[in-house]
Amino acid sequence: MDFKDASARLKAKKVTQDEQAHPKAHDFATSYGLRAKMIGVLLRDARLNAERTVEDCAYLLRVPAEEMLAWEFGDAVPSLPQLELLAYYLGVPISHFWGTDTLEAKHGRHVDIQLEYIALRNRMIGALLRQSREEQNLTVEALSQNSHIPVEQIARYELGELPIPMHELTVLAGSVNKNTSYFLEGSGHIGEWLAVREEWKHFTSLRDEVREFAANPRNIGFIEIAIMLSKMPTDQLRDVGASILDITR
């Protein structure tokens, strides 16, 4: 090792020691600025995903559209109550606004796919109708007689060539011994969203004490036991009940 190398190492060591002895002050302004930009990106992402305009969101909060734009650019930041209203309006959890993942990254930005989705769903519903009809050993003519819908029209429904109006689908579903919910979308982003909304509807209809019990993370074990018991055959449940009685005697 020559003198230059030794000198350079000593200088580097001295710089490190100085930095440790006198650490740089945290740059709060930069930190706040970055957080504001992140919230803005997530806010714009949620708005575009919900297909809402800047004006829509501004009107909801009774603020100028310019202020909403400033939030999205990170030049200003909304308050928590404002974000709560936006989360409800845009259909996202409030935690979306302090996360790091965008909806576009998760699901992609779907533009003008509504017609494709509707066409595909019409074919799926038609196929389900035909399958249900055949399971009931019904001919198209018999289904037509039960529903008072022309044979040719039902045939086009089953091929997905025509969308089935909701009031007619209700009658056709009853004629093939199915609930209307049988034809609902059961997979994909929309299907999952609809299922969650239905589950939430049933959850909110429970008694207050039942909801509080189910929502408490400490009670997960009890809920899992209940699920396990619900899947047991009747004879095994009797044995479990008898064992519990023996323990409590």
Q: Of 117 and 70, which is predicted with more confidence? A: 70
| Amino acid 180: pLDDT | 86
Selected residue with higher pLDDT from 157 and 6: 157
Rounded to whole angstroms, the Cα distance separating 35 from 151 reads 62
pLDDT-based confidence at 171, cuts 50/70/90?
Answer: very high
pLDDT at 117 over 70: yes
What is the DSSP code (8-state) at residue 126? Answer: H
Average pLDDT estimate for 197-213? 80
How far apart (Å, rounded) are the C-alpha atoms in residues 174 and 179?
7
pLDDT digits (tens, 9 = 90+) for 73-107: 999 999 999 999 999 999 888 888 888 777 766 65
Express as a percent the part of the chain with pLDDT over 70.
78
CA–chain centroid gap for 235, Å, is 39
Please give the domain boundaries of the chain with CATH numbers for all domains: 28-107 (1.10.260.40), 114-183 (1.10.260.40)
